[in-house]
Structure 1
Amino acid sequence: MDEEEREEVGEYKLQGLVGRGSFAEVHRAAHRRTGAPAAVKAIDRRLVDKRVHDGILQEREILRSIDHPNILRLLDTIDTTNMMYLVLEYCDGGDLDAFLHKHGRLPEAVAKDLMRQLAEGLKVLRGRNIVHRDLKPQNLLLSTNGDDIVLKIGDFGFARLEQYAPALSHAYLSLSFPIHSDI
C-alpha cells in the first residue's frame, strides 16, 4: 500500500488484506466509531496509466450515482498524493466464483434468485445507460442477510456510460427480430 503501510484510512481502521492486483489492494476495514464493516480499495496512483486512472474515476462516479441493493455501494472516497481509496460496502460472502467453488452446484431456487437479483441490478444500469463490460462471477459479490444471500454487482473499472445505448439496442432488436419491426 504505501504512505507507509497505513493502519487507518480516513475514518476506517484496516483489518487485513482481502486481495491484491497489479495496482490495487483490497482490505477489510471497520469504521472507527461505529465498527461498521467496509472494504477499502487502495489504488497506487504511481502504478496506473491515464486509461486506468480514468477508469477508476469513472467507477467512482458511477458508484456515487447509484443506490440499489444489487449494486455495490460506495461509502467514501479518500485521495492523497500517491493513493486513491474507495471505501466500499463489505460483502461477507465473497464473490460468486469462490462461492461456487466452495459449495458446488446451487439448488435451482437459489440460482434463480441470484439471477433475478443480477437482472435487477442490470436493469438499473441499463436505465442509466451504463454498460459494465466486465461481468463475471468474480465481480458478483455476495452478502448474507439472515438466511438470504444478496448479490451485488461490483468492480466498475471497465464500465462506461453509453450515450447511444437505447438507440443501438432498438436498432439491433429490429434487425435481429424482423417479425417485431415495422419493416
Structure 2
Amino acid sequence: MKRIVIVPGNGGGDVETSNWYSWARDKFREEFDNVEVLLKDMPDPVIAREKFWIPFMHDELKCDENTVIIGHSSGAEAAKRYAERYQVLGVVLVSSCVTDMGDESEKESGYYNRPWEWDKMKTNTKWIVQFGSTDDPFLPWDEQQEVADQLSTELHKHTDRGHFMAPTFPELIKVVKKHLTV
C-alpha cells in the first residue's frame, strides 16, 4: 500500500493545529481510498534533531519505497537526510534550505553538519517536488534555489507564500495527486 507521510517543521507544537498539516492529511484521505496518510507529532519537536527524527520516520512512520514524504521546513531537511539513506517513492520539500544560516537551534538539529548527498537522494527517489517562496522570512531564496539546482526538483516557485504556514495548501494536493495517479 502506498503511504503519504507529512513531516512538520520544528516548533509548530501540536501538528493537528499547526499550519496546513491536518488539512492536507484530511484532503489526501478524501482523494485516495488506497493510500495511507500519516501525520504524527514528532519526537523532539522544538529542535528537530536528526538523531531522533530519522529513526522515528523509519521505525514509527514506516517510511519506505512506497512512501511519499512531505516535509515542511525542518521536516524538509529530515526528508532529504532520510532519502540519503533509504529508498522512498517520492519527496515533497516545502521551504527547504541547505545551511543552518547561523541559527544555533538549526545547527543543533544536526542536519547541516556535513555535506548533502544529492546524488544519493536522487537515486533513492522516483521524483522530488519542491515548493518555495521568494518572500520566505526565514529562508533566503538562494538557499531554496540551491536545493532545486542540486536535486533538479520539480520547482514550484512562489512570490507570496512566505514560509508556507497558511491553514490550507491546495497546490500540494494537486501535485501529489498528479504523481500518485501517473
- Note whether the superposition's TM-score is higher than 0.5: no
More strand by share: 1
- When normalised by structure 2's length, the TM-score is 0.25
Rg: which structure is higher? 1
- When normalised by structure 1's length, the TM-score is 0.25
Larger RCO of the pair (alpha carbons < 8 Å, separation 6+):
2
